[in-house]
Amino acid sequence: MAYNPSDLRLPPWLLWLLNALIRLRIPIATNWKIGMTRAGGLMFFSLLGLWSAAFYSGNNLLYLCGGMLFSIALMACVQGIQILRHVAKLGAVLPTVLEQGIPHILRQQQDIASSASAMIDVVWHGTDIRMQINMQAQRMTIMAQLFSAQRACTSLSQQHLTTSAPLGLWQLECQREDPALWLVLAAPVIWSDTQALGALAASQRIEGDEYDDLRAYVAGDSLARIHWRKSTLNPDSWRIKRFTQAQASHHSRHLRVDLRLPSYASSKDFDRLLGMAWYWLKKQGQYSSEHFILGQQHFDLAIPKQYQAAVKALAQAESESIPPLQGEGMVLSL
């Protein structure tokens, strides 16, 4: 804000008093509070002095001046309330998953029904999840830099919206319900399941030339699977070998994560283990036919709800003392 009573070089005691005043929040309705900015503090005292003079003197022009200033203050307050009421629910804007230690920059634009110029601060109660909303004309831009150093799985509900728009006089605070799930997973650790499973790696080696058919190359295909002989005939379209055995083995793959924390391992190692599991889960994506076993929990990733549950379980995973559920597939452990 470009105007601030501290610019007036007020004496320190007066500034201290003003600061104490602007920390005050007065409830005006259920879930609504009002405070004042420094400029609002000046306005408040101007109004106080002006109305005192008007009441004392009975000067009707002072009544008009007081009415005019009061109407500005009131209108600013009403418009501020309207602005906050027009902010759409923001739970859906939050990323579905945040990764531990990796900042997430959020910048989204939404259309709004009314036209306003305002800056709104959004904080979810009891968290450090903060957003800023820049309202201009009939569009609002939601901006946030989301970061978490810890894994978390939190159900967010209470949200605080604060603005001093449209004049920077009153600090209006609104508390509302905006449910959202805040999932922070361990940072993904890149690994290859082929490295982890020697047996599978070996089976890859015996694939040989017994491929089922050929398909066109797509970005990301392994160079080892390119049928070089057929591809050299037509360099514009490389051909990729497809193996029935490999597909079959792929479909039958599962991942079991052993959540036991040995004495030599630290919580960082545990997060790393979960990061590897998250990497695998992410790689499989939804609707894959894999099964994911996390300690004592089993998830069929082909079912979208179970995939979501798996992600949630990863976010809130704690170390266990017993081995994971029995089953097929790779085992990740410390």
Partner 1 sequence: MSTAHSREAELLTLGVLMAGVAALALSDFVSPIYWSLPVIAAVLRVWRGSRFALSEMHASFIGWFGFLWVGLELILGRAWVVAFTDFLLILALAVTIESATPRNHLHRMLTGLFLMLAGAVLTDSVLYAIPLVALMWFIWRAASCLYGLEQVGGNLPIPSVRQDMQSSSIMIIITLSLFLLLPRFDIQSKLQPTQPRMATTGFSDEVKLGDFARDLDSTVVMRIESLDADRRHFKQQIMNHYWRGVVLSQYQHHAWKQRSSQKTRTWLAEQDVTMHKIQPRSIQIALFREASDHPYIMLPNGLTHMNPLHRDSFQDDLGQFHFTQSPNRRLRLVMQLAPQNHTSDIQIASDIPPQGDEKSQRVPQAIQDWIKDRIAPNTPAKQALQQLNQTLHGWTYDLHAKLDPKAPLASFIQMQRGHCELYASTLALAARSLGIPARIVNGYFGGEWNDTGHFLIIRQQHAHSWVEVWLNDHWQRMDPTPASRWQLTNIQFPVWDQVWETVKLTWYRYILEFQNQDREALFKSLIHGLKILLPWLILCLIGGFVVYHLYQKVSKYRKTIHLNRHQYVIDAWLLQHGIKRESFEPLSRIETPQHINPKNWSAWVQRWEKDVYQQKPLPRIRYLKKQLKTLES
Q: What is the DSSP string of 32-55?
A: EEEEE-HHHHHHHHHHHHHHHHHH
* Nearest distance from C-beta of residue 34 to partner 1, angstroms: 16
Q: How far apart are CA 73 and CA 69, in angstroms?
A: 6
Q: Does 218 bind partner 1 (CB under 8 A)?
A: no
Nearer to partner 1, 50 or 310 (CB): 50
Q: How far apart are CA 273 and CA 278, in angstroms?
A: 9
Q: Does 5 bind partner 1 (CB under 8 A)?
A: yes
Choose, by CB under 8 A, the member of 20, 48, 68, 92 that binds partner 1: 68
* Nearest distance from C-beta of residue 8 to partner 1, angstroms: 6
Choose, by CB under 8 A, the member of 63, 147, 191, 217 that binds partner 1: 63
As beta bridge partners, residue 124 has: 159
Nearer to partner 1, 119 or 334 (CB): 119
Choose, by CB under 8 A, the member of 18, 34, 77, 79 that binds partner 1: 79
Q: Does 64 bind partner 1 (CB under 8 A)?
A: yes
Q: Does 82 bind partner 1 (CB under 8 A)?
A: no
Residue type, 239: R
**Residue numbers 35-54 binding partner 1 by CB under 8 A:** 39, 42, 46, 50, 53
Q: Does 118 bind partner 1 (CB under 8 A)?
A: yes
The count of residues interacting with partner 1 (CB under 8 A) is 53
User: Look-up: residue for tokens 């009939």?
Assistant: 138
Q: Does 55 bind partner 1 (CB under 8 A)?
A: yes
41 burial type by CB count under 10 A (0-12 exposed, 13-18 middle, 19+ buried): buried
Q: Does 117 bind partner 1 (CB under 8 A)?
A: yes
Choose, by CB under 8 A, the member of 14, 75, 202, 322 that binds partner 1: 75
Q: Does 109 bind partner 1 (CB under 8 A)?
A: no
User: What percentage of the chain's residues is helix, strand, coil (to nearest 5)?
Assistant: 35, 30, 35
User: Look-up: residue for tokens 């902010």?
Assistant: 87
Choose, by CB under 8 A, the member of 77, 81, 84, 165 that binds partner 1: 165
As beta bridge partners, residue 184 has: 98, 152
Tell me if 188 sits within 8 A of 97, measured CB to CB. no
Choose, by CB under 8 A, the member of 169, 276, 315, 317 that binds partner 1: 169
Q: Does 116 bind partner 1 (CB under 8 A)?
A: yes
Residue type, 184: V
Q: How far apart are CA 80 and CA 173, in angstroms?
A: 9
Binding segment for partner 1 among 88-96, 127-135, 231-239, 292-300 (CB under 8 A)?
A: 127-135
Nearer to partner 1, 42 or 276 (CB): 42
Q: How far apart are CA 116 and CA 260, in angstroms?
A: 55
As beta bridge partners, residue 158 has: 177
Q: How far apart are CA 73 and CA 278, in angstroms?
A: 53
Backbone angles phi, psi at 65, to 5 degrees: -60, -45
Q: By the criterion CB under 8 A, which residues form the site for partner 1?
A: 1-5, 7-9, 39, 42, 46, 50, 53, 55-72, 74-76, 79, 115-119, 132, 134-137, 141, 143, 164-169
